[in-house]
Amino acid sequence: MSHSNRFASQHRSVLPGSEKANIAQLPASLAAHAISKPGTPGELITVTVILRRRNHIDHHAMTDRDARLTREEFGKQYGAEPASIRLVEEFAQEYGLTAVPHDDLGRRSVSLTGTEEQLEQAFGVDLTHQEIHGKTFRVREGSITLPEELQGHVTAVLGLDNRPQAKPHSRAAVPHDTNVSYTPVQVAALYGFPTSSAAGQTIGIIELGGGFSTDDLTTYFQGLNLPVTNVVAVPVDGGSNSPGDPNGADGEVMLDIEVCAAVAQGANIAVYFAPNTDQGFIDAISTAVHDTANKPSVISISWGGPESTWAQQSSTALDEACQSAAVLGVTITVACGDNGSTDGVTDGQNHVDFPASSPHVLACGGTTLQGNGNTITSEVVWNELANNEGATGGGVSNLFPLPTWQQNANVPAPTVSSGGRGVPDVAGDADPTTGYQVLVDGQQQVIGGTSAVAPLWAGLIALANQINGDNAGFINPTLYSTAVAGAFNDITQGNNPAFSAGPGWDACSGLGSPNGAAIVQALAPQAVAAVAAD
């Protein structure tokens, strides 16, 4: 350790928003099986320190296509201050930590590596180890404290705690005599998607577990008489493409790839694999947003968890990564959960899922879709809670206020004054009883969940980007404009169950399911400009 005690001698205060729930506040299924375990002496841990932006991102920067920046320009305008990076490096040196600033200033991150004891001293925390269902996690409870010199420079410290942060929003179909299923191509036809190529586009997919088999993808797309899609795996924070469990996260990964690649034929797919932690989740999104090699124009996320399970520093850091995406012209689509209006929380209150509740993503809800050929015969809100088979998430955020573009949507009042953002924005087929035919680890399966809707919309946006010759970027303000009302199939029946469908936007089906060709037209540069002028 350095002989200097510059930082050690300073007054410490709590890093705002760093409060972390204790192990007893885990879901009952996990907390009931938590067993204290010893740590591994000398084991090296890497945490991600997020630094403040040098400039605030305003609404204009996110919505004006002419104001978009290259990734290099973004780093210069909105990246971290060099002085902040130097400060963290000096802090790290004093506590014996190895500091590696990210070479992309726009990421605003520095990786710090050290032993558990060094990190405990540096950040004023106590780390324990808990075994949950046979796997040991490092657990931080309470708040992080920082020396006064770092306050205002550091906005988040991620990775001290590595308990699971999110779950995949996919559900396998339970056999019923009345079940129907579709290929993604058939769903796209029912929604009027263009059948042109999306070659030239790259769709990014965030995964926090599981993996894909290239042989399975070849078999699947050949079976649909489609060209085999180019899929690359991008490791983040030690994550990897690790297939092998057809009943685990592999189903999520294959659903995501097969849906978006089948509807956006010819698009490249980049799958960002990260550990299922808040650090892994946020680093994966930042990696995808700032990826200068693959350059995705749209990112699909099918993982999440109730807002109440997120530390404020983590939800803020993730939302800021989505703001960065908007300035760079990257659209993010997110599944809004499969457990109805409670989002699976058993406190008797309504909850929405995050990151779907971020106001800077397109939140995707679920329907039950019946159709024939190119004709929808019935479409209602997905709600199979009576059979314990899930329902679309939806409701009102407690974290994010009502966005300007939702002010005329008649969003219900929030339960807390800080909330107001309505979820979802849009919908699509999600009910496993009308699910998607996919191939997972050599097995034909039918899978649904709002996990299917995020890649469905991502594929549509990739098509729109290719057809329009311009990235759609942050599309929410455009979609909520009355000028594009014809772009949706309005869902007016069903509930989730606290919120009911009705004409226009509602908190279970959003604006509705897509009229594909009209969505593409609405996202054309001239159409967006006309909306902005209204």
DSSP secondary structure letter of residue 57: P
- Catalytic residue (one of 252, 278, 379, 431): 252
Q: Which residue has the tokens 């797919």?
A: 269
Neighbours of 346 (CB within 10 A): 8
299 with 331: CB under 8 angstroms?
yes
Residue 436's closest CA among 169, 174, 179, 184? 184
Instruction: End-to-end CA distance of the chain: give it in Å, rounded.
Output: 61
Neighbours of 52 (CB within 10 A): 16
Beta bridge partners of 339: 391
Structure tokens at 209: 């577990």
Instruction: Determine the number of helices (DSSP H) and then strands (DSSP E) in the chain.
Output: 14, 28
Structure tokens at 225: 């008489």
Inter-CA distances, 532 with 126, 197, 324, 362, 404, Å: 51, 29, 21, 19, 13
- Catalytic residue (one of 256, 307, 384, 425): 256
Residue 326's closest CA among 477, 140, 152, 131? 477
472 with 326: CB under 8 angstroms?
no
Q: Which residue has the tokens 């993503």?
A: 361
256 is known as an active-site residue: yes
- Catalytic residue (one of 451, 481, 509, 513): 451
Distance CA 320, CA 335 (A): 18
Distance CA 426, CA 520 (A): 15
120 is known as an active-site residue: no
451 is known as an active-site residue: yes
409 SS3 class: coil
Distance CA 272, CA 254 (A): 13
Which active-site residues does the annotation give?
A: 252, 256, 451
